[in-house]
Structure 1
Amino acid sequence: MIDNFFEVVGLPGLSMQGFGPLLLMGTWMTIKLSLLSLAVSVILGLIGASAKLSSLAIARLPAQMYTTLIRGVPDLVLMLLIFYSLQTWLTSLTQSLGWNYIEIDPFSAGVITLGFIYGAYFTETFRGAMLSVPKGQREAAVAYGLSRSQRFFLITFPQMMRFALPGIGNNWLVLLKATALVSIIGLADLVKAAQDAGKSTFQLFYFLVLAALIYLLITTLSNIVLRRLARKYSAGSREALQ
């Protein structure tokens, strides 16, 4: 069915040439990788932002080193370093414990690597957003006797999201495009699928253009979702201004 898509929409000169399922699987792999990496990045970002705003130097220093290192080294270099170092450390650990050899699959490596890299960018995004929340809001929450977790989820997080969403959207789009880098570690993502299809048919440019169009479609849908989230989290502020 997917191979005949272009003929259905009136472009009979174009077709997937039998590689439609491969591209579809690659697209799904890219989406899964992006979403799971985003989840890891958000968790690391919240932890990192809290650490950088902590009054304890023992928490601030590692967080500062983390963001400085990640933002100062190219993503491709970091991906190769993290991927191969993870496997090396795991091999050393299994040997020292007498366990059987464990190989990290490319998908898990991709999620961990991208999540670790973009966690640094989310750290700065969340740190700036947390600083934008009026201090009096947190003080009022303390006065009402709310616990630390209640203060965060009921007071800080909803207000923080209004300031963080532009940065979150930008980081998400960059993360989505960065998934193309995982093809170098053997993951069958959209780029790898397009390359395989192009080499098999000697039409590499054609299939890479198709991959670019798929990425454009995903980013367009992402922008729609982000705009709706922005309206949701800014609803209270708009009403207050009216």
Structure 2
Amino acid sequence: MVWDYATAILTAGSTTLLVAVSSLIVATLLGLAAAFAKLSGSAALRRCAGAYTFIVRGIPDLVVMLLVYYSLPALLNQGIEALGWDLRIEFSPVAAGIATLGVIFGAYMTETFKTALQNISKGQIEAAVAYGLTKQRMFVRIMLPQLIRLALPGFTNNWLVLAKGTALVSLIGLQDVMFRAKGAAEATAMPFTFYLVAAAFFLVLTLVSIGLLSLASRRFDVGIRKLSS
């Protein structure tokens, strides 16, 4: 019986990984957009990006998730009813979890990418402009490789916190690792055993993530090491 419950918990790891990776993609895209907005010449864009990061980082993650899953659909449905439309909006736990974690960690990614962009040598940008590179080619050839290298430490920290933060999604009914562990603990009165299985899953995920991102960091540091040697 214990093995069956443990297997069910670990099988739910695919759902946890789906939410984590999807949220990371959303957070990365939002973070890049907001970082460029904060460094843009438009005061309106800078204010919008600043308000986004300030508000999101100032509200607890669980509160944001409950607002998105419960309050936002209710608010939208009230507006739809007022317009007389025959429509009802409901968010699935997966969609709500991905959107919420993506928005939350997009705010943290913003600061990571902003700092990385500010540390890219302006001389290289000026040289690229002098050579007549388009903005797209300059970003891909000059800025992106350095952005990745400079942002990787902060990106790694944000990813590790995000991966562990997926446990919050169990509170809105998603059948993930934590949801299955809670169910097994309640059914067997063996909370230590099954929460330990969940802890082991997240620990392995952390170790694998650190290993892969460390390899990526060394890959992007190759040119720097050659120049310094």
**Counterpart in the other structure of 1:142:** 129
Aligned pairs (5 A) from 1:11-160:
16-92=2-78, 94-95=80-81, 96=83, 98-160=85-147
Structure 2 residue 178 is matched with structure 1 residue 186 = no
Distance 1:97 1:164, change over 3 A: farther
Query: What secondary structure sits across from 1:18 in the alignment?
Result: helix
**Counterpart in the other structure of 1:227:** 214
Distance 1:129 1:97, change over 3 A: farther
CA positional deviation for 1:89: 4.0
The answer on whether the counterparts of 2:9 and 2:197 sit within 8 Å (CA) in structure 1 is: no
Deviates more, 1:226-235 or 1:145-154: 145-154
Higher RCO (C-alpha under 8 Å, 6+ residues apart): 2
Counterpart amino acid of residue 15 in structure 2: M
The answer on whether the counterparts of 2:32 and 2:113 sit within 8 Å (CA) in structure 1 is: yes
Query: What secondary structure sits across from 1:54 in the alignment?
Result: coil
**Counterpart in the other structure of 1:170:** 157
CA positional deviation for 1:84: 2.5
Aligned length: 228
Deviates more, 1:90-99 or 1:148-157: 90-99
Give TM-score, length-normalised by structure 2.
Answer: 0.94
- Residue-by-residue CA offset, 1:159-199 (whole Å, 9 max, x unaligned): 11111000000000000111111111111111011001111
The answer on whether the counterparts of 2:6 and 2:197 sit within 8 Å (CA) in structure 1 is: no
Q: Distance in 1 between matches of 2:51 and 2:57?
A: 10
- Residue-by-residue CA offset, 1:88-112 (whole Å, 9 max, x unaligned): 2442454336243231100000000
Distance 1:40 1:97, change over 3 A: farther
Q: Distance in 2 between matches of 1:74 and 1:238?
A: 41
Q: Distance in 1 between matches of 2:136 and 2:183?
A: 49
**Counterpart in the other structure of 1:8:** none
Distance 1:210 1:49, change over 3 A: same
Q: Distance in 2 between matches of 1:83 and 1:140?
A: 48
Distance 1:155 1:93, change over 3 A: farther
Query: What secondary structure sits across from 1:133 in the alignment?
Result: coil
Counterpart amino acid of residue 102 in structure 2: G
Give TM-score, length-normalised by structure 1.
Answer: 0.90
Counterpart amino acid of residue 215 in structure 2: R
**Counterpart in the other structure of 2:191:** 204
The answer on whether the counterparts of 2:6 and 2:194 sit within 8 Å (CA) in structure 1 is: no
Q: Distance in 1 between matches of 2:84 and 2:139?
A: 41
> What fraction of aligned residue pairs are identical, expressed as a percent?
43
Q: Distance in 1 between matches of 2:138 and 2:86?
A: 45
Q: Distance in 1 between matches of 2:123 and 2:64?
A: 40
